[in-house]
Structure 1
Amino acid sequence: MLCPRSVTTFSNVLPCAVILFVAFVSSTTARQGVDKGDPSDGSDVAIDQPLTEATDWFLTEQEITDSRGGAPRDGLSVYTEGNAITSFTVPNEFFNSVYDDLSVVGDGQRVLITAYESALIPFKPDVDVSGATTGYQNVFAGIVERGGQVNILSWANLLERSSVEVRNVINSLPPSPVNDARALFIFDDRLSTISSSHHQKTIVIAATSSSGHDDHPVAYVGGIDLTKDRWDNIYHNSSTLRDAGGITKDFKGWIDGHIRIHGPAAKDVANNHLSRWNSDYMPTRGLEDDMLSFNNPPYYKLDPLDYASSTNKSTLGKQSVQIVRTFSCKYEHYTEFAPHGETSLLQARIKAIQNARNYIYIEDQYFILVPELLDALLMVMPRLQHVIVVAQAPVGDAAYSGYEKYLHDMVSPLKKKYPNKFKVYTTKRKLNLYIHSKIVIIDDVYLSIGSANWNRRSMTSDSELNANVVDQDTIKSPDGITVNKLARDFRIRKFHEMTGVSYDKLDAMTFLDAAAQFDVAAADDMSLLQILSAKTYLYHIVFLDSIRQQVDPQDTCNT
C-alpha cells in the first residue's frame, strides 16, 4: 500500500499503517478540540422523581426467557419480595459477617460456595492475625465437626494455585463425629474457552430440611473472594496487619462490596450452585486437569433445597431482589440450566440505565467498552445530573492486554460529549490500592452488586451472578424526592470512603453537592482519589479485534 504524499517523509522509519494511524489520531484530536460537547455540569438539570417500584426496574419473565435464547429459567424466581439485606461497602464488614454466620453452622445445615479463587487466610486478622480461630481451614473444619456439610465449587484457575492448596486442606478434613457430614471441594472447568472463567462469588447457608412457614436460607452475593489481598478496612491503612496475616499479595489495600441476603432470594442463589454442581456433564475430565492437579475426587449429586416456605415471598425484610446471571451461549454442556446461555445480567443493566432519571454511580474493576452499555448511557445522559465512575486504572496484565485502550473506548465518547457531567476517578497510584468492585447505584433507588465486571466477558461469556435490589423502605432525600433507604445508604457510605467527608455531612447534602466532593478529594494530596485520564497511545493500534476477542470475549449466538 502506498502512503499519501503528506506522510511519505517518515515511511522509511514507520510502517505506513502506523503513520496513517498517527495522522488519524492527530486529526481526531484537533476535531475534539473544536467540539466542546454539552457544557452542562448538571446544575441546570432539574431533579426528577425516580421510579421506586421493583417492577419498574426488574426484567419480566419474558425478558429473562428472551435473554436465554427462548429457554425458560427453571429453579429461580423472576424476582423475590420481603428479603432482609445487610450491605457491606468495605471488605472487613463482609469477612466479619461471614465468620459470624459460619462459626455457628452445624448439624442440620449445609454451606454451598461458588468460588473464583480461595486461599488459607484469616477472616478476622484484626483480632486473630494467625488465623488460629478465624482462619479458612479452621472455620470450615469447625462446620464439619459440628455436623454441617460443605460443598465448594471453584473455577480451575490456571493463574492462581492457592485454590489447589485449599482443595487439599478441605478434602482432607475428617467426617463429622456427629453425623458423618463431610466437606468437599471440586474444580469446575466447564467453560467456552481456555481464557474463560467461572467468576461467581456466592456463599449460601441453608437448612438440610425446614418446615418453618417463613424460614429461608442466607446468601452472600458480591465481588469479594475468600482469598488473599481482599481483607481491608474503610481507611485502607492496615498494610502492616495484612502483611502479618499473610493477606497481602500484590496490593496494600482493597476496595469492594458485597451483600448478605436472608430471604427467598437466597434460594435462587442456592439453586444456581446446585444446578452447576449436579450437571450430568462432569468437570475436569481431561489429561491436562490431572497434570495441573485439578483432578476431582469422586463426588455425589446434592439434594435439592427442602423448605416449606415460599420461593418468592417473605416477611423477613423489605427488599425485593432479582438474581441475574451470565452463562455463555457458546458452551454446549450447560444443558440442564442454560442450554442457550443467559445474558439476563446484561439485559437487566441496560434496562436499569434506561430508567435513570438523576444520576448513576459506577464502581468497577474495569469499566471498559461494552457497546450496548455505552449506547444506553449516551441515551440517558442529557437528562441526568451526573454519572460518576470510580474504576481501577489498568495495571499489569490488564494494561498489556489492551484494557487501557478499551477503557478509552468506553470513556472517550461520554467525556467528549458531556465533559462536566461525566466524571471518572481512580485511587492515587502511590497508595497501591486495588478497586475490585462490581457496583452500580442509580437514583438512590436501585443497587446492582455481584461478580460481574463492566466488560464484555462478564456480560456474555464468563459465568457471573448479580443481585439487583430495590428497597420498599423509602425516605425523603435533601433533593426533595422519594428514594429508597438501602441504595441511598450504600451510596453515602461509598461516597464517605472515597471522599473522606463524614457520613452525616453527606447525608445532609443534595446529590450534586455530594458529587462535588469527588473533585475536592481528587485535588487533595491526602485523599484516596485522583482523576482517571483514559488516554489513547500509539501502540493501541496493535490491539485488533481478534486480540480483544481473546482477552474480553463477546459471546453471541443465533438460536
Structure 2
Amino acid sequence: MADIDALRKKYFVQPDDTDPPSEPLPATFSGCRVTPLIDGVGYFSDLATQIAALGNGTPSENGGQFLYIAGWWLHLMGGEVNPAPGSQGASTGPSVGLGQPFSLDGPGAPNHLIDLLKAKAAAGVDVRVLGWISFSIMSDYFILSPAIQSGAVDIRNVNVGTLASIRELRKEPALAEKACLNIIAHSAGASHTKMVLVGNGSSVIGYTGGLDLVGDRHGSQPHPRLQWHDVQAKVEGPAVQAMYDLYRGMWNEVKAREPEPFRYDDAKVYSHTPTTPLVPARVLPATPVGKHHVQSLRTIPRFNYTTFNLLPENKKISFAPDGLFEVRSAWFNAILAAERYVYIEDQGFWSLDVMIWLRAALKARDDLKVILFTGIADPNDSHYPPYAKVSLWNGLLHDLNDQQRNRVRMFSRNVVVHTKSTIVDDHWVIIGSANAFQRSLYSDIEHSVGILDEDDVLARQYRVRLWSDHLGLQTPADQQKIADIDKALNVWNSAWGTPGSGVGVPSTITTVVLPTAETVLSARDKERRDRYVDVDSRQPWGGCLP
C-alpha cells in the first residue's frame, strides 16, 4: 500500500498552497471510487444502466430518486434545428448534422434520451436539465454587430440545439419548470460542465468529464478516422457531495434571476419560470466505497468589466463573487510536483499558464518527460492554430536548452481528441471539463476531479488503458506491454526509458513539429483571442470595438 499521506502532501493542493477567496482549498474526500470511462460508448452504456434503474417503483419510492443533468450542449432532438429567419441568434443548424434524436444506445438507436427523461419525470423521479445558453449572444432583446454574428456562429449552432431540447422537454408537464437554460456565465464565457448526477434513493453517482449528450460522441476503440475520443469520470462515494452542491449552486443561481427570453422558431423560450423549484440541500451518503482520494475542482469566472461593452454584462455569481480557480491551483500544484512524466491529453494547448508551469517543471527536474497529445480539430470549435503556437513557444519552449527541449514531445491522432485529462508520475490524475485553455482556468464554469489512490494503481491502470486506445493495443496481454512506465515512455521516444516493449507508434498518430521561433498574432487574432476565444476573466474585459 502506498503512503497516501505523502502522495496527498505532494500532489494535492494543501492549505499552505491556497490563496483565498479565488483559490481556496478544494473540497477533499477519502473513501471514494473513481472509474475513468474511456470513450462515449463506455460512458453512455454506464449512464443508461443507472437511468434504467430509476422510476420503476411506486410514486412514493420514485419520489426519493433524482436525475440532474448539466451540459454545455444538449443536442437531444437530432437533425438541423432552426429559429425564425431574421431573429437574433438565427442559425442554419448544428455544425455537425445529426439526423436522429440522441440515444445512449448509439446513433440511430431507439430509446431516445429525450423520451426517457420525460418518462422518468412522469413516473415521479426528480428530473432536472440545465443546458447552457449564451445570454449575451443569444438574448432576444440584444442586437449583435455583424462581426459578432459571424464570429459566434459555432456558439449559436450549439445553443440552438440546446434551445430545441429544452423546449421539447417542457412539453412533459413534470418537466415544464425543471428544464432550464443556464444564463449565469461570463459574457464571453460558457457553462462548460458536462455533469450528471443519479440518485437512486440510497446512493448517488456523479459523472464529470468531456462528454456532452450529443450523437457524434459514441466513439470506441479501435476508432475509425474522424471518430470521437473522450473520457468521463464516474465518481462514487463522499466526493459526490461536492458535485451535487455545485449543481445546486448553479441551478439556484439561475432561479434567483429574472427569466430571460430567447428566440426560437416563432416563439420566445424563457430561461426558467418564476415558479421553477429550487434544488434542495441534501446530505448525501458519506459511507466509504473505495480507496480513492478526490479533490473536487471548480472554475467560476470573475465578472470584471470595463465601462462600456459591446456585449451585455452579467451579474456576479453569488456563491463565488470573486471567482473560483480551483482547477488552476490543482493543475499547477501537480505539474510542479512532477518528477518522471507529465502527460496531457487535450483538444488544444492554448493556455500560456499551463505551458509556463511545464517549462518550470522541466527546468527543475533533469529527467522529467512531457507528452502532449491531441487530435484533429473539434468541428464545433473555431480553429486557431496560431494560439497554440504562441503558447507553446512563449510559455514552454523559448528558453529551454537542447537537453530540456528533447524531453518534450507532442503527438496528434487522426480522431477528434476531446479529452481533458492529465496524468502525472503514475500517481495523480485529473479528469473533467477543463481544457488547457485560459478560459477553462479562469472564465468558463468548469468541473474536474483530481484523484489519488491508496493502493497507487489507478493512475497506472488508467494510463495503460488510455495509451492502449491510442497505440492500438486491444488485448490485455498487449496492454500489459506498456504497464512498466520506462518501457512505455520508450514507445514515444526511443531515447527515453527502457526499450523492449515491442510496441510502436501506429500510423494513425503523427509527431507534431514543435515551434522553433516566435509566432506573432495579427492584431485581429490577438483581439479575438483575448476578448472572445480564450478569455481570462481576472483581467478587465470589454470594449466597444466592432
Distance change in 2, residues 1:335/1:368 (3 Å): closer
Tell me, yes or no, if the aligned pair for 1:363 and 1:439 is still in contact at 8 Å. yes
Contact kept? 1:50, 1:443, Cα under 8 Å? no
Residue 367 of structure 1: how far off its partner (Å): 1.4
Quick one: distance in 2 between partners of 1:376 and 1:411? 8
Partners of 1:111 and 1:513 lie apart in 2 by 43
Tell me which residue corresponds to 2:150.
Answer: none
Q: Which residue of 2 is the match for residue 202 of structure 1?
A: 195
Quote the residue 2:96 is aligned against.
none
Tell whether the 8 Å contact from 1:356 to 1:384 is kept in structure 2 after alignment: no
Deviations 1:2-54 (A, max 9, x none): xxxxxxxxxxxxxxxxxxxxxxxxxxxxxxxxxxxxxxxxxxxxxxx998533
* Equivalent position of 2:536 in the other structure: 554
Quick one: distance in 2 between partners of 1:54 and 1:162? Answer: 42
Partner of 1:478: none
The whole-number CA distance in structure 2 between the counterparts of 1:256 and 1:273 is: 22
State the shift of 1:360 in Å: 0.9
Residue 234 of structure 1 pairs with residue 221 of structure 2: yes
In 2, the alpha carbon distance for the partners of 1:415 and 1:500 equals 33
* Residue 127 of structure 2 corresponds to residue 150 of structure 1: yes
Task: In structure 1, list runs of 5 or more residues that go unmatched.
Answer: 1-48, 176-180, 240-251, 474-483
Encode CA deviations 1:375-429: one digit per residue, 9 max, x unaligned: 321222133442111023557753348435445435543876533211100113x
Could you say if the C-alpha distance between residues 289 and 354 of structure 1 is closer, same or farther in structure 2, counting changes exceeding 3 Å? farther
2:21 aligned partner: 68
Q: 2:348·2:388 contact (CA, 8 Å) conserved in 1?
A: no
Tell me the equivalent position of 2:228. Answer: 254
Matched, 1:186 2:180: yes
- Give the counterpart of 1:141 among 118, 124, 129: 118
Kept after mapping to 1: 8 A contact 2:211/2:232: yes
| Cα shift at 1:219 | 0.2
C-alpha distance in structure 1 between counterparts of 2:457 and 2:340, whole Å: 16
Residues 425, 286 of structure 1: alpha-carbon distance in 2 compared, 3 angstrom cutoff:
same
Instruction: Specify the alignment match of 1:307 in structure 2.
Output: 283
Aligned ranges 1:61-460 → 2 under 5 Å: 61=15, 63=17, 66-69=19-22, 78-106=27-55, 107=62, 108-120=64-76, 121-125=101-105, 130-133=108-111, 135-157=112-134, 158-160=156-158, 161-175=160-174, 184-193=178-187, 195-206=188-199, 216-237=203-224, 252-279=226-253, 282=256, 285-286=259-260, 293-298=268-273, 299-307=275-283, 309-310=285-286, 314-330=287-303, 333-371=315-353, 373-381=354-362, 382-392=365-375, 398-400=382-384, 402-406=386-390, 408-409=392-393, 410=395, 412-413=397-398, 417=402, 418-428=404-414, 433-460=415-442
- Partner SS state of residue 118, structure 1: coil
Change (3 A) 1:539 1:446: closer
SS of the residue corresponding to residue 346 of structure 1 reads helix
Q: What is the count of residue pairs matched by the alignment?
A: 458
Question: Tell me, what secondary structure is at the counterpart of 1:514?
Answer: helix
- Residues 413 and 510, structure 2, Cα contact 8 Å, conserved in 1: yes
Taking structure 2 as the reference length, the TM-score comes to 0.75
CA distance 1:294–1:340, change in 2 (3 Å): farther
> In structure 2, do the counterparts of structure 1 residues 411 and 376 end up closer, same or farther at CA, with 3 Å as the change threshold?
closer
**1:268 counterpart SS class:** helix
Q: In the superposition, relative to structure 1, how do residues 292 and 284 fare at CA in structure 2: closer, same or farther (>3 Å)?
A: farther
1:14 counterpart residue number: none
Higher mean C-alpha deviation, range 343-352 or range 330-339: 330-339
Write the letter of the residue equivalent to 1:302: L
Question: Aligned partners of 1:308, 1:455: CA distance in 2, in Å?
Answer: 33
Q: CA deviation at 1:191?
A: 2.4
CA 1:269 to 1:62, structure 2 compared with 1: closer, same or farther past 3 Å?
Answer: farther
Equivalence for 1:242: none
Give CA deviations for 1:517-538 in whole Å, capped at 9, x if unaligned. 23599x9896321112244798
- Write the letter of the residue equivalent to 1:119: H
Distance (whole Å) between structure 2 residues aligned to residue 400 and residue 295 of structure 1:
33
Q: Is the 8 A contact 1:216 1:307 kept in 2?
A: no
SS at match of 1:99: helix
Deviation of residue 172 (structure 1)? 1.1
- Give 2:513's aligned residue: 533
- 1:511 matches 2:485: yes
Please state whether the residue corresponding to 2:179 is helix, strand or coil. strand
Q: Could you list the per-position Cα deviations for residues 39-71 of structure 1 after superposition, in whole angstroms to 9, with x for gaps in the alignment? A: xxxxxxxxxx9985334322235655x25348x
In structure 1, C-alpha distance between the alignment counterparts of 2:185 and 2:345, rounded to whole Å: 27
State how far apart, in whole Å, the 1-side matches of 2:51 and 2:254 are. 30
* C-alpha distance in 1 between matches for 2:6 and 2:40: 29
* Unmatched tracts of structure 2, length 5 or more: 56-61, 77-100, 135-155, 305-313, 495-500, 541-546
> Residues of 2 paired with 1:67 and 1:342: CA distance?
9
8 A Cα contact 1:189 1:284, kept in partner: no
8 Å Cα contact 1:117-1:225 kept in structure 2: yes
- Greater CA deviation, 502-511 or 323-332? 502-511
1:463 to 445, 469, 477: 445
How far apart are 1:146 and its partner, in Å?
Answer: 3.1
How far is the alpha carbon of 1:441 from its aligned partner?
0.5
- Kindly provide the CA deviation profile for residues 91-137 of structure 1, in whole angstroms up to 9, marking residues without a partner as x: 210010011111111202111111100122444445xx53322x211
- Letter of the aligned partner of 1:220 in structure 2? Y
Instruction: Tell me the distance in 2 between the aligned counterparts of 1:315 and 1:51.
Output: 17
Quickly say closer, same or farther: Cα 1:319–1:524, change in 2 above 3 A: closer
Residues 182 and 254 of structure 2 are in contact (CA less than 8 Å); yes or no, is this contact kept in structure 1?
Answer: no
The alpha carbon displacement at 1:284 in A equals: 7.3
Shift of the alpha carbon at 1:341?
0.4
Identical columns (%): 20
Larger radius of gyration between Structure 1 and Structure 2:
1
Structure 1 pair 539/228, CA: closer, same or farther in 2 (3 Å)?
Answer: farther
Aligned CA distance change for structure 1 residues 327 and 273 (closer, same or farther; 3 Å): same
Q: Is the 8 A contact 1:321 1:469 kept in 2?
A: yes
Q: Give the aligned partner of residue 244 of structure 1.
A: none
- Cα pair 1:364 1:391 within 8 Å, conserved: yes
C-alpha deviation, 1:361, in angstroms: 0.9
